[in-house]
Amino acid sequence: MTRFLAALIAGSAVLTLSACASPHAPTLAERAAALPDNGAVSDGDTFTCRRIQITGTRRFERICTLDSEWAEQAGRTNEAVEAIGAADRSQVRPDVFPGMYP
């Protein structure tokens, strides 16, 4: 019985160590982290990677896109902010609704 337990423990130790020592294929996150933060693509345009926080979480996501697309997104954001600033600021809910009070 003790021989069996000793063999079982030795076998599990060998399996555990072999699992730790075996090389693994890099995950998508590991491959993305190895990419540079900026550079050029084949057609001459440049790209930039940014860490963007996911809304409602503490997690960040690395987003890589062309610089022209970053500029386009910034332009759309500025247009939206200006539209909100120029919006009508009259009362949304007036104190007295017509027809409700005598």
Number of domain units in the chain: 1
Residue 44 lies in a domain: yes
Query: How large a percentage of the chain has pLDDT more than 90?
Result: 22
Structural domain including 50 reads 28-86
Tokens in use for 67? 């610089």
> CA 93 → CA 67, 86, 89, distances in Å?
43, 19, 11
Q: Would 34 be classed as within a structural domain?
A: yes
pLDDT of res. 12: 67
pLDDT in tens, 60-95: 998 888 999 999 999 999 998 888 887 766 665 656
Average pLDDT, the chain: 77
User: Rg for the chain (alpha carbons), in Å?
Assistant: 30
Instruction: Note whether residue 13 is domain-resident.
Output: no
Give the pLDDT confidence score for residue 39 in this predicted structure.
Answer: 83
Is residue 54 within 8 A of residue 61, CB to CB? The reply is: yes
Single pTM value for the model: 0.51
Q: How far apart are CA 79 and CA 81, in angstroms?
A: 6
Instruction: Please name which of 53, 72, 76 lies closest in space to residue 63, comparing C-alpha atoms.
Output: 53
Task: Answer yes or no: is pLDDT of 99 > 70.
Answer: no
What SS3 class is residue 41?
Answer: coil
Q: Is residue 29 predicted with pLDDT exceeding 60?
A: yes
